[in-house]
Structure formats: C-alpha cells, structure tokens
Amino acid sequence: SLTIGIVGLPNVGKSTMFNALTRNNVLAENYPFATIEPNTGIVPLPDKRLPVLAKLVHTEKIVPATVTFVDIAGIVKGASEGEGLGNKFLANIREADAICEVVRAFEDDDIVHVNGKIDPADDIDTINTELILADMQTIENALPKLEKDLRGKKIEPAYFEAVKKAKEILEAGETIDHAAAAGKIDKADVYDLHLLTAKPFIYVFNVDDDELQNDDLKKKLADSVAPAPAVFLNAQFEADLTELDEADAREMLEDAGLAESGLDQLARVGFDILGLSTFLTAGEKEVRAWQIHKGYTAPQAAGVIHTDFEKGFIKADIVSYDDFVAAEGSMTKIKEEGKLRQEGRDYVMQDGDIVEFKFNV
Ligand code: GDP
C-alpha cells in the first residue's frame, strides 16, 4: 500500500506526532537521532459517514480506509553526502510515496533546536536542500548513459529535455513537486528518475496553543509552502488527546476551540495527496470504506474487493450517501424514488458512492 514518510530535523516533534498517530506509547526522547529505525503506523482515515451508515443498516462493524505513515530517522545537514544517518534516510524516503515534513514552530527553551533557533523557513530549506542535492546526484549519475542513449536514439529527445529541465529546476533550489504545481514541468515526464522531490509534499507545522489560534502566522507559514498543503497542530496536545477516551477527547478539542484533531486533518490531507479516494459498502455484516485511486472505474473498484468481482463484472448498483441517508437506508424507498443508479464498465467512481457490484462467477 502507499506510504507517507515523516521527515524533519531532530527535536521538532516527529516521534511525539508519530506515536500519537499510532497511539503507540514509545517515549519520545529529547535527543537527536532518537528515532533510528523506520516505524510504520497505519491510521484510520476519519470518515463521519461510517457510523451514520452503521446505525442505518444495524451493524456494529465499521472498517475505515487507512493511511500508512512511516517515521523516518531525523535528517541533518549533509545527509545527501551520507553524513550521520544520511544514506539510510535517503533510502527510506525513496520507498515512501509522499513526504510529510514536520517543522518546528513551537518555542521551548528546554528543548534544544539543532540549529540553535526556531526558524521554520530555514528548517524547510535545510531539509529540502538535502533532498534537492540527492536528486541532482541522481541526475548527474544518470546523464552519461542518457547522453549515450540519446545519440543511439534509444530514448526520445523530449525525455532528455525533460531531464535537463528537472536539473535546472533543482539547481535553482526548487523541488520538482513545487515546480510541477507551477506548471514548469510534468512529473510524468521524469517519472523514470524516481526523484525524491517529485513526491507530493505535506508540511506539518508543530505549533503551540497560542500559535494555533494565530491566523496571521498560520497564513504566513501556509503561504511559504503553497501550493503544497500545510497542517497545523500541537504534537504534544495531539499526544495527550490520544490518551483520553472519545468523549473526553471531544471535550478537550472543544475547549481548545478545535473542530477536529490535527491528526485527523493530517490523515485526510495525506490520503488526498496520495491520490486516493474511497467508495462505500453498507450491509448487515459491515460498513466499509474501500480505498481506491482517484479516477478508478467501477470494474477497477470491484477488483479492490475481489479480483473475481473485476473479472466477472456486470454492473454496479449505486446510491449516493446523501440519498441513502435521506431514505433512512431503505432500499425499497431508494428504488421507488429512482435513486438507485445502474452503472457500467466505464463509470468513474465518485466519493460517497455506496455500491453493490453484480458479477458473474
Ligand atoms: P523528534 O526528534 O523530531 O522525533 O522529536 P520528539 O518527538 O522526540 O520531540 C522532541 C522533544 O520536544 C520532546 O521532549 C517532546 O516532548 C517535545 N515536543 C514535541 N512536540 C512538542 C510540542 O508541540 N510542544 C512542546 N512544548 N514540546 C514538544
């Protein structure tokens, strides 16, 4: 499954956030390199529709979609040259499908900052520079063979041009993700290079409670990374939340003036930048959100449940979540009102589709 690698300088709150994500109580240490082994955490994608559906179809069992996070060892300046844990860091990040960069904005004199000061823009620059340098190295290494292949007409000139364009972007200090969002390059054209900075980025700003209420500050930080998405959370607060039962956690959120937890936001944003979407099934056995790639057709979606469903696909009976809830889950009513759609092979799945696939066995 697709994974999001959590990266950041030491002591920015990565472990605190990761442990909260996984409700796993490994102690976060105030110590650079505390997180040496990559850890994987699979977290539910928050979906308020699922309990509503479960009630309507009288089932206790809810299976949400999931988002997988991998905690990657702290990066330091010089990682691209293999300093410290550099090589391991780059290998781990290469395996991730998206990059979640945790950036410290909170002030706490007791917790040492590796660069001696709290400066989010500078921290982002430190990390991105290492990733950019690693990508430049990848291109340098690939170029001699590409030049030979170009002369031997084994590759398209357009591909060679795209690689050179990527090199220019990186040399100017920009990530491929950022440049692609601005229309300067098409990621698909340089996909074969598997560049680190071509992965989608999310920035998590670890803020304190005052900063969390400071809209001007948040806007400034969000603008500094746009159009990449930014999530603001207080990692320590999120960790405390996960210690509570649901009712107490909701009360603590309300007291803090928050509609949802930062981790829920992060899971949602992460799921989205991975290019994922869901469709729903609702039956007596269970209510479930199935994970698909955006743009999947009905047979492809059926194949996520079972390969036989895709092979023998006939049609999909679909009702939208809103219509299902309006009819209080009564299929009779849904049919009477003409809200049950029959979709064929070319139908592209939509968010909120509640589906029953018909197939040959
Ligand atoms: P990592 O090295 O990035 O994994 O950072 P840790 O999660 O180990 O956090 C480093 C230190 O900062 C620990 O002592 C945490 O308790 C503390 N910390 C983490 N998040 C916050 C926060 O949001 N506010 C404050 N004040 N301290 C935090």
The upper half-sphere exposure of residue 339, i.e. CA atoms within 13 Å in the direction of its Cβ, equals 21
Per-residue pLDDT at 66 exceeds 60: yes
Position 1 scores a pLDDT of 78
CA distance 309 to 324: 23
Per-residue pLDDT at 26 exceeds 80: no
Ranges for all domains in the chain classified under CATH 3.10.20.30: 295-359
User: 46: buried, middle or exposed (CB in 10 Å: 19+, 13-18, 0-12)?
Assistant: middle
Ranges for all domains in the chain classified under CATH 3.40.50.300: 3-272
Task: Name the pLDDT band for 91 (thresholds 50, 70, 90).
Answer: confident
Convert the pLDDT of each residue in 72-88 to its tens digit: 865 656 666 655 556 77
Per-residue pLDDT at 359 exceeds 50: yes
| Cα–ligand 1 centroid distance for 219 (angstroms) | 23
Which ligand 1 atom minimizes the distance to the CA of 71? Answer: 4
Residue 82 or 162, more confident: 162
Task: Name the pLDDT band for 236 (thresholds 50, 70, 90).
Answer: very high
CB under 6 Å to ligand 1: residues? Answer: 8, 10-16, 28-30, 34-35, 74, 106, 108, 111, 206, 208, 234-236
Mean pLDDT is lowest, of 61-65, 152-156, 218-222, for: 61-65
For residues 237-250, give the mean pLDDT: 92
Q: Which residues are 70's β-sheet partners?
A: 5, 40
Position 25 scores a pLDDT of 34
H-helix or E-strand containing 263?
helix 262-273
H-helix or E-strand containing 63?
strand 62-63
Position 118 scores a pLDDT of 80
Position 215 scores a pLDDT of 94
Residue 190 or 116, more confident: 190
Residue 15 or 324, more confident: 324
Which ligand 1 atom minimizes the distance to the CA of 233? Answer: 23
Residue 24 or 40, more confident: 40
Per-residue pLDDT at 36 exceeds 50: no
Position 208 scores a pLDDT of 93
Residue nearest to atom 13 of ligand 1 (CA): 30
The CATH fold of domain 3-272: Rossmann fold (3.40.50)
pTM of the model: 0.89
Position 34 scores a pLDDT of 40
Q: The complex's ipTM?
A: 0.96
For residues 244-265, give the mean pLDDT: 92
Q: Say if domain 295-359 classifies as CATH 3.30.70.2740.
A: no
Per-residue pLDDT at 237 exceeds 90: yes
Which ligand 1 atom minimizes the distance to the CA of 16? Answer: 7
| Cα–ligand 1 centroid distance for 215 (angstroms) | 23
Residue nearest to atom 2 of ligand 1 (CA): 11
